[in-house]
Structure 1
Amino acid sequence: MNTTEKGNRLEDKLYDYLLDQFKRNELVFDIYPANCCTVRKKPNYYCRDREADVNFDVVVEVRRQGGADPHVYVVFECKNHQRSVEDRNLRVFSDQVRSVFGQAAKPLVVISSRLQSGAESFTKNRGIGIVKFDENGIDVVVDRAVGAWPENRFIQNQIFTGNRKPKTLKFAACINGRYFGSLDQMLRSFESSSTDEQADNTDQTASYVAFLPDIKIQDAAQNALSLISYSCGEVDVEQICRVLNLKLAYSERTLQDADGDTILGSANFGNRSIEINQHGNRHRERFTVAHEIGHFVLRHDKYLRSEYIVEQDIYEEVKKDEAFNYERLEYQANLFASMLLLPEAQFLEAVAALRNKFETYGRAFGYIFVDDQPCNYLPYNRMLAELSDQFGTSKQAIEIKLKRANLLTDHRSRRQQNHSLGQVLSHLRNPFGSQ
């Protein structure tokens, strides 16, 4: 696919996204009703400098209530380049926008991948905003009452390359040094007063996603299990979806996010649906379903319209204050999934029985003991295998559960003591595969 074809595809996807916002009456949320807006693809406008018509990729025309002519034009130029956008192309775009619309336009260049940080200076000096759009990304719900704004650092990392690779948003924008995590937040800024601008541009802390203690998440998992009268064995996640009126579908598509990471599954909170991308790993698919159920049960629809899960999300255990909001959401969904697939009472009962069966205890070394000696490692591994068969989860997931519950003393030389959840998972190439 050449550069022009890529640009056209990005343009089509952006147009569909804007049109969808329009249909939901959210295009200019909190400013103007949708009937005051028109979304146009490849519209022609007369250019004084050229004395001829020019067209732009996508334009949103905004009219005041009762007004005949638009008073703001939001002009999108799509550049589906892998690394950077050439300065000369931006100059041409900027000059054309100024010639056609004067000061009434908001020019925005749309990219699909992150830029080198040096591109920020040029676009800022020319008054051009940068938008990163990913059709498979997280779609943010912006609600002043909840205050679910993405942090500025999170959005900056979406657009410009850096040391940290965050989960991809569907829409992220940078305009004159200000960062926006949703379309409606950006459009609202065009009409805000200078006071509002200063308030909206403060660097947000990670305090908007509510902290949930582990016991609350465990209670939520137990409530979900009670809906299907769970008693023992493998948890029927598909039945839980049916009881919760969640539409569960499986797909053999291979989808990737903007950074090339494989998307395991996704959730859409508007139509209450979950889609799992199958890759021949039943344990990972079950964990992905449970993870997405967690987002619904824990009411993450307060923050998101849609979300997706990639393999790195399974590693997420971030609880510290500097964590991004979305890392906190992934941690909560992961913990819920573990508690749903490995119910506390039934899991501990099964562990106790198999501990005695395989004699995996060390009288002076804790409830369950393992080291590198075959007489200890082999029965321990057989115990994990039986638990895996019984609950339909991977041996690694079970081992992590044991470590979290402080039930396992691990003296194997190839592993350090006191692994965190994320460290254990990241050590494994395929964390939820069978072994």
Structure 2
Amino acid sequence: MTIYIGLVLLIISYTLIRKLLGKNIYLFLCFLAITLVLGLSSETIGLNDREYVYTRVFNLLKETTSFKECLDLASVRITSGWGFYIVTWLISRFTRDSHIYLLILTLPLNYNIIKYIKRYSANFALSLLVYITLIYPLTFTVVRQGLAMAVILVAYEFFKEKRYVASGCWILVAVSIHLSALVFVVVLIVQKFKIRAWHIAIPLVTLIVAWGSPILIFNMLNFFINDSTYRSRYLSSNVSMIPWTAIVIRYFILIFLYVIIKYSIINNDLEDSALPVRKRHFSFIGGVLNFGQKTGKAVPYSVNFYLWCALFATISVTLMSVLGEFQRIAAYFDIFAAFSIPQIIGALEKDNKVIISLAFCIFLIIYFLGFQLDNWNLLPYKFYF
């Protein structure tokens, strides 16, 4: 627990570190800390995927003598396609240590998260707390999906720049690393439609249907998935319980975002603008959410995108009541909460903003230390050496 408490203390020391060393040093220290805590941990903590999947794949690939052997091995697992195997094979060319391999795989996601926070976040510490609460514990287990999520962040950057071919290529790369990345395309499609208040009830209806008739979910998998081994693996992950804590957290975030956006946006008719906005409010400008700061940062995400991500994250976590693997799906949408929550809190009046930011930080710290660590089997922390 000491390791994780130290990580939290580093993150919430933003004001002190910024004054002494600057913002860039603060972000570098946080990047170094979250990378080393994850990369130097034993593969026996988490849900053991690193021990039974990633190190096993690495040990197989480091014995191969040709690229063709790598591609042949890639056909063994459907969810981990040629992209993941190629990355692993390339790493195995210059190191035979599985722990160095695992450490390298943690770099892309953490780097992209820090890069996005530096560019777009209105509150560095809050963004990092959201990340380590909703996403970070998962990455101790699903390493290859973390790599896919890093690629998705790149793909969405191109998508917002309307470079659709480049975005599509990066999405294909993400899918080649882990098949679950394909769900992200759904948000890119539906964000064109304005989210309504009644949409917030969808996760509740999903919970009632999924919990009352889990066979519906199983039939869906049987229809879309032909490989019996792959299907059996997912069907065997039936957790037979409702993850109330996770559902309540996601529902709270969804309603919070919707209410603040609904009652804080003052102008949604302005033309699209890539220029920084320096007013102390945020506005929906041609599909771009801008939060005015002294630095004049602008966040290139649409309001609808934020809300759809929060909605799909809530639905996915709700479906964990019959299939635990849906936590993987939720992660692709949770990751954008690290940028949306600070921006939307920034829409509030100054006094309310300070109080709610502080309350949100305390809430996230309690959830991280009191629930997530134990939930993902991360206690006690163990180094690999």
Larger Cα-atom Rg? 1
Structure scoring higher RCO (CA < 8 A, sep ≥ 6) equals 2
Task: Give the TM interval when normalised to the shorter protein.
Answer: under 0.3
Structure 2 length normalisation: TM-score? 0.26
Structure 1 length normalisation: TM-score? 0.24
